[in-house]
Structure 1
């Protein structure tokens, strides 16, 4: 079995296991819990791993506290993270102390302080803060290629060589733009469009409508990888849940494009895998 195939199986199993514990947490006597906090534009996700870095619990909530990768509702973000933390602590019968978080690539000077403060104000000891595509690769385990994290507001790109990140970029285009197109095409409110596009039953019908935006994302990817030897693209982020998005991107880039099972959960799981007991100031 190829190394790539094994990596895909590892990531897909991790996501499958996480989906199960979101529904039914595993209450065990772990000596420590590691939590990944993903403050997404459309959704806030908490992923909890045990001492062996195995999924034991998780929760998520659709929210509007982040826009284009930036925290715009600081108090609201703290409230949601705190509530999800308390909900999971009650289910596990244990305190969640250590947390890690991530930010869009290249935004550390702008927003890393806000994300850090949200996580700490919600009651976590922050142990790691990394960029989103790099975090996702903790679950994907790509050695050579590009990780493309298509979130609500932005598309983040990390290029890896021999397992090390050699280039990162972030561009404004993502799921928000999908919703705006759906809203205009179907004459529905933005919020209605958000809900409509999340329903997989609508994806086949929506794909041709959204194709121009997907092709724009593909052109952004092309622009950033053109000076690098990239032979594989992995898509993560909630926007990638759109059925068929990977086929359009592969066709436009001419590069093999892989989408893991439920790409919305890959980054939060990667963040949790990056969590330690070493508190950062």
Structure 2
């Protein structure tokens, strides 16, 4: 039986990234590579040095993206520009090169907007790829499915022999979780979204959210139905919900697991995909 994916590399990289978010590494590098992850709920910038090691990072919860699409173009540019400036001051350098990512299957709809946001914030764009494929730059999965459950969408990449053979996206994600919490607890949406992000509430929330988690499981089933998938890895901010993977595994009846902090997998994968080859 094929060995299951080991998250050692992924978890170590994320631990390094979490450390440099708090304490950036200011040693000079000949070049810096930045990953810009424009999420529905959170915008993340991950900065790597010339050896593709984490040196700094920053993130901000925002609502400039909806269902994977940029809905507040000016707001998105402003946030990325502000995070870029914050990191440049911490590193005492100019950040030139950046890569970005889009939900799978949406390149004809939104790739131009993502490109313009990154360039509008002052970066030279060097790479634009789909989110689950970016995540696999960190996961190093050979065979199976990478499922990126973000704030607005659930994106799935099917991999065989380390190559992506199919990508698809569905407009269901953490926003729907927050709507359920809002209705169940009588909270405003933003309050429900914040309540969901607090780990101490997860045990209480899991039974409340099980129906919508099962819906995500059904979406995954539809995405992988025609492929031989023996393992599913969950990434994305919504995948941080404690116990979510067990509910999905029960629904899809396929071994399902996730790294320690799924939120930072995709932005780090985007950064690892960054080069010095500018896209015009």
Q: How many residues are paired up?
A: 279
Contact 2:64 2:71 in 1 (8 A): yes
- Name the structure 2 match of 1:250: 249
- Name the structure 1 match of 2:72: 73
- Name the structure 1 match of 2:101: 102
Question: Structure 1 segments of 4 or more deviating over 2 A?
Answer: 2-5
- Name the structure 2 match of 1:150: 149
Cα deviation, 1:172-222, whole Å, max 9, x if unaligned, reads 110000000000000010011001010000000000000000000001101
Q: How does 1:163-178 map to 2 (within 5 A)?
A: 163-178=162-177
- Name the structure 1 match of 2:28: 29
Deviation at 1:28, TM superposition (A): 1.0
CA distance in 1, matches of 2:174, 2:218: 16
- Name the structure 2 match of 1:263: 262
Contact 2:158 2:166 in 1 (8 A): yes
Contact 2:104 2:132 in 1 (8 A): yes
CA distance in 1, matches of 2:146, 2:74: 31
- Name the structure 2 match of 1:179: 178
Deviation at 1:153, TM superposition (A): 0.8
CA distance in 1, matches of 2:259, 2:275: 25
| TM-score under structure 1 length normalisation | 0.98
- Name the structure 2 match of 1:219: 218
- Name the structure 2 match of 1:53: 52
- Name the structure 2 match of 1:139: 138
CA distance in 1, matches of 2:259, 2:140: 12
Deviation at 1:258, TM superposition (A): 1.5
- Name the structure 1 match of 2:14: 15
CA distance in 2, matches of 1:54, 1:248: 34
| TM-score under structure 2 length normalisation | 0.98
List alignment gaps of at least 5 residues for structure 1. none
CA distance in 2, matches of 1:109, 1:231: 31
Cα deviation, 1:54-104, whole Å, max 9, x if unaligned, reads 000000000010000000000000000000000000000111000000000
**C-alpha RMSD over aligned residues:** 0.9
CA distance in 1, matches of 2:274, 2:3: 25
Contact 2:45 2:58 in 1 (8 A): yes
- Name the structure 1 match of 2:195: 196
Deviation at 1:254, TM superposition (A): 1.1
Give 3-state SS (helix, strand or coil) of 2:277's partner. coil
Deviation at 1:106, TM superposition (A): 0.3
The yes-or-no answer on 1:278 pairing with 2:277 is yes
Contact 2:234 2:245 in 1 (8 A): yes
The yes-or-no answer on 1:87 pairing with 2:53 is no
